[in-house]
Structure 1
């Protein structure tokens, strides 16, 4: 009887222990599946962890033929981060997935895709796959393709073409072959959002942000790609890549409102990925929703902080084409805040964001194209808001950088005009002219823009300011028109290549010359592109009032007052 009791007691303890282990295992599975804990499951993996599962990177999944739940989760995170343009973190996530399912071909596919080119890298003139790691990864995918199902084989063989320099030694031929293959893939799997997004990406990499001409007409293929994205987004509105690409495709069009659907939903899809959180601002600044642009960029900065805290000490492998990461995204968000605040007339916020954006460029990055532009943007904010004393007090810059030197001369010359020192302004204009006569400047570029074009615009603008101050309105108007002609040649980029539309100057000069109707046309043209721009709304109101169109003038003034409600500067004309 005693032995029976002891056996029963031991049996109950064992049963309870088994039940407890089952419950713990189930709880861990639930938590890990939900992405709530950045730890590994009971699945075994060798070596040091390369990544963690970060809550807030989204829920979009692309099931692959793996038996490892953890490998699937890291693959999904890597793919989502690739669509979110955080490539080092995406690569690390795929590396972690390989620890749980070594040799799975689709994980190598995801890694190769993350390491390859994107529209931004091509726009910036960066070399594709500079370390050869994408080629290694896609080669590994092909070597293990016997583990793939039929759809996975199609995806792998399609992406292989992007990197196959043996079959297509010329990049242009490789691009076209890959575009054709990606289009065929999207047609074969017409309900697959990744296939549609790959097709869009293939076209947009070739287009390098040049998807519309200056009149708003689509380039070849743009309409087809836009239709493909819109169609797939009706089926899968939660796809981060399709929404991201849709914004980039439409932002430079004359109908950016078409991108609002993607802009309004994108943040919620990956709320801890700062670049994805920021991306709606590319549409918001184009449609004149500047408050939303500022707020969403502030949230993107907070998202990056949270992501980095969750990521901890895990690596950021910079072995692909484009290095954008949560570690370095902040200055881009700050420059959007700077631009939107400028349009709203808020100097304090604009200069703070401008300085933070410039301060975020450290080391060699400080003198890169982006670093130089962010440095010069501080002077441009001071100039736009008439902060002449502060502008004159700014330090000079190394003579090795003609873009920076030229804009320092331009803004200093404008400050001399502002304080009434026309001789000083003319001296700066002469210095700028000498710079433009140097043949070496013809080969210098700042991003995709020729430095000579930027400084020629600066020269025309400063020449116009001097002539206007001297009372030569005809000469000033001609100079401003020349500046606008140059400004309109710049390729699209956000924030714009030139921080202050020269139409603000031309419109003000035309009003001073009693040419109100011409001024109205100038302001309306600016507002067609820079919607709800406070500076041009004020000028438009003045031009309508001067024509006796008081009702329309009042409407424009009310719009201006709405945009200007947080401003710290009062306008008397459309530029200071």
Structure 2
């Protein structure tokens, strides 16, 4: 799979006619790609606007906002610059707008309307974005997202020759997509819009960036390899451009490529003092290191994450600070360590839920049933809090966590049949949705945890089928190979066990881990 996917990716890059990697570009701004967004503003303002858009398309919001302000200094009548400012206040459009940004974005939209758009096209852009801010205190975020999608569809239809309209419509399709739609209709529609533009504008940062987002789903992830292999070269100075390819690399199990991408991203983010980008990249970095069995490297990154002091309104940062330490315990099967994790206070219930989830599983699996029940109850409380806040997506994610935790509590109390039924239900619930872009994945796939429960019950054949199904969706995971190899061995299929153990050994060839599974793998392969 690894060789064939890279062949596909490299062939795609060659077919697109991209220049050879490493071609020097003359300025820092040019090292963010090439964008032209036609405006009615004066020549200086136009150049500055294009410059701001290069930052904007790589989600470098503070920098883009500063440059939009420079646009207004060059041309105070450039109303579309206020649209740009409002756009920057969205932050990552795949999540809710940070609460402090809502009145600021609304003020920018109102100022754009007060100044007056220079053309009808610019007026339509301003009106389309306005729905993300108007009545934000009354209209839920997801309802505003759906209204924005309709507005962008109309804009793109009205101006079919405007690539920027098509690009922003395409990413709106992804943002507004239902996480329960397993046909990926929105995503494939958006990708079909962007692929021809990618041929025309191979240096456009937004096209490569948004193609990665649109293909960031297990069944279609391989289609994102050409964009993933290209984006960091288009915008090498942008921290987010260095990070984003790892979304696809994670989906296809390219851990070394993911670590390289995120090391570059973290370095760029630190240089730019972008703490949110730093922590987001580090979360993905920890995930990849743990799959390679490079536990010491993962632990060093976690210490860096824990020492950071991000903006309390930055969700990706809060998520990283909750997820990374929990991943370290759960992936390594350190159940006592998981049970004793600290819960870092956060304004985001779903960030704190990660710690409670790890604590609940860890306590249940280390015989601390009362503690496991307390953390499971806390998950239910956080889920209900999210439901009350109309945050349906994250309420659903925390509900899956509560189901898994509850299943392990049942298992720990000897109710094995009920526990297996509860785990099966959790697997179905997780399958019915998708992970958020903020995370490389759950602490452990529900189906993988189900497989280990089946193994513990002595149901090796059933467990093997479950692990093989898990690997189809979450390829090249360390514990996926461990579970499959163990299940095959206990089922009496020595050849399949040897094959899985060999893949584990290859995966962890540079591991410094003392995980018992590695020693068992080497011993089995050597004796078979």
Interval containing the TM-score (normalised by the shorter chain): 0.7 to 0.9
Q: How does 1:4-19 map to 2 (within 5 A)?
A: none
Q: CA deviation at 1:248?
A: 0.8
Establish whether residue 340 from structure 1 lines up as the match of residue 282 from structure 2: no
Structure 1 residues 55 and 173 mapped into 2: Cα distance closer, same or farther (>3 Å)? closer
Q: 1:535, 1:574 within 8 Å by CA — same for their partners in 2?
A: no
Q: 2:255, 2:292 within 8 Å by CA — same for their partners in 1?
A: yes
Q: 1:504, 1:574 within 8 Å by CA — same for their partners in 2?
A: no
Q: CA deviation at 1:417?
A: 6.0
SS for the counterpart of 2:508 is helix
Q: 2:41, 2:75 within 8 Å by CA — same for their partners in 1?
A: yes
Tell me the residue number matched to 2:116: 142
Q: CA deviation at 1:543?
A: 3.1
Is the radius of gyration larger for structure 1 or structure 2? 1
Q: CA deviation at 1:340?
A: 1.5
Tell me the residue number matched to 2:515: 570
Q: 1:384 aligns with which of 315, 318, 331?
A: 331
Q: 1:181 aligns with which of 119, 139, 154?
A: 154
Equivalent-residue separation in structure 2 for 1:551 and 1:141 (angstroms): 73
Establish whether residue 246 from structure 1 lines up as the match of residue 211 from structure 2: yes
Establish whether residue 374 from structure 1 lines up as the match of residue 321 from structure 2: yes
Equivalent-residue separation in structure 2 for 1:510 and 1:174 (angstroms): 45
Establish whether residue 522 from structure 1 lines up as the match of residue 466 from structure 2: yes
Tell me the residue number matched to 1:160: 126
Q: How does 1:154-553 map to 2 (within 5 A)?
A: 155-164=121-130, 171=144, 174-175=147-148, 177-187=150-160, 189=161, 192-207=162-177, 210=178, 213=181, 216-219=182-185, 221-307=186-272, 326-362=274-310, 364-365=312-313, 371=318, 374-375=321-322, 377-387=324-334, 390-391=337-338, 394-395=341-342, 411-412=358-359, 414-415=361-362, 422=367, 425-432=368-375, 435=378, 442-444=384-386, 448-450=393-395, 453=399, 456-463=402-409, 466-467=412-413, 474=417, 476-489=419-432, 491-494=434-437, 495-496=439-440, 498-553=442-497
Q: 2:331, 2:479 within 8 Å by CA — same for their partners in 1?
A: no
Structure 1 residues 118 and 297 mapped into 2: Cα distance closer, same or farther (>3 Å)? closer
Q: CA deviation at 1:303?
A: 1.9
Equivalent-residue separation in structure 1 for 2:310 and 2:102 (angstroms): 24
Q: 2:332, 2:515 within 8 Å by CA — same for their partners in 1?
A: no
Q: 1:406, 1:432 within 8 Å by CA — same for their partners in 2?
A: no
The runs of 5 or more residues in structure 2 that have no matched partner are 1-24, 521-528
Structure 1 residues 237 and 193 mapped into 2: Cα distance closer, same or farther (>3 Å)? farther
Q: 2:276, 2:316 within 8 Å by CA — same for their partners in 1?
A: no
- Structure 1-normalised TM-score? 0.72
Tell me the residue number matched to 1:96: 70
Q: 2:146, 2:176 within 8 Å by CA — same for their partners in 1?
A: no
The Cα offsets for residues 183-241 of structure 1, whole Å up to 9 and x where unpaired, read as 31452x0xx4323202213333433xx3662xx3123x443322111121122222111
Q: 1:358, 1:371 within 8 Å by CA — same for their partners in 2?
A: no
Structure 1 residues 435 and 390 mapped into 2: Cα distance closer, same or farther (>3 Å)? closer
SS for the counterpart of 1:238 is coil
Q: CA deviation at 1:557?
A: 2.7
Structure 1 residues 339 and 515 mapped into 2: Cα distance closer, same or farther (>3 Å)? same
Give the aligned CA root-mean-square deviation in angstroms: 3.9
Tell me the residue number matched to 2:106: 132
Q: CA deviation at 1:427?
A: 1.8
Q: CA deviation at 1:114?
A: 3.2
* Count of matched residue pairs: 482
The Cα offsets for residues 486-533 of structure 1, whole Å up to 9 and x where unpaired, read as 444554224256311233332234345453332222112211221111
Q: CA deviation at 1:265?
A: 0.3
Structure 1 residues 249 and 363 mapped into 2: Cα distance closer, same or farther (>3 Å)? closer
The runs of 5 or more residues in structure 1 that have no matched partner are 1-33, 37-52, 146-152, 309-325
Q: 1:523, 1:536 within 8 Å by CA — same for their partners in 2?
A: yes
Greater mean alpha carbon deviation, residues 370-379 or residues 342-351? 370-379
Equivalent-residue separation in structure 2 for 1:269 and 1:401 (angstroms): 34
Structure 1 residues 203 and 461 mapped into 2: Cα distance closer, same or farther (>3 Å)? same
Q: CA deviation at 1:398?
A: 6.5
- Structure 2-normalised TM-score? 0.78
SS for the counterpart of 1:119 is coil
Tell me the residue number matched to 2:5: none
Q: 2:93, 2:175 within 8 Å by CA — same for their partners in 1?
A: yes
Equivalent-residue separation in structure 1 for 2:146 and 2:403 (angstroms): 37
Structure 1 residues 415 and 511 mapped into 2: Cα distance closer, same or farther (>3 Å)? closer
Q: CA deviation at 1:395?
A: 4.9
Q: 2:72, 2:81 within 8 Å by CA — same for their partners in 1?
A: yes
Greater mean alpha carbon deviation, residues 405-414 or residues 337-346? 405-414
Tell me the residue number matched to 2:31: 56
Equivalent-residue separation in structure 1 for 2:112 and 2:325 (angstroms): 44
Q: 2:356, 2:376 within 8 Å by CA — same for their partners in 1?
A: no
Equivalent-residue separation in structure 2 for 1:406 and 1:183 (angstroms): 39
Q: 2:357, 2:379 within 8 Å by CA — same for their partners in 1?
A: no
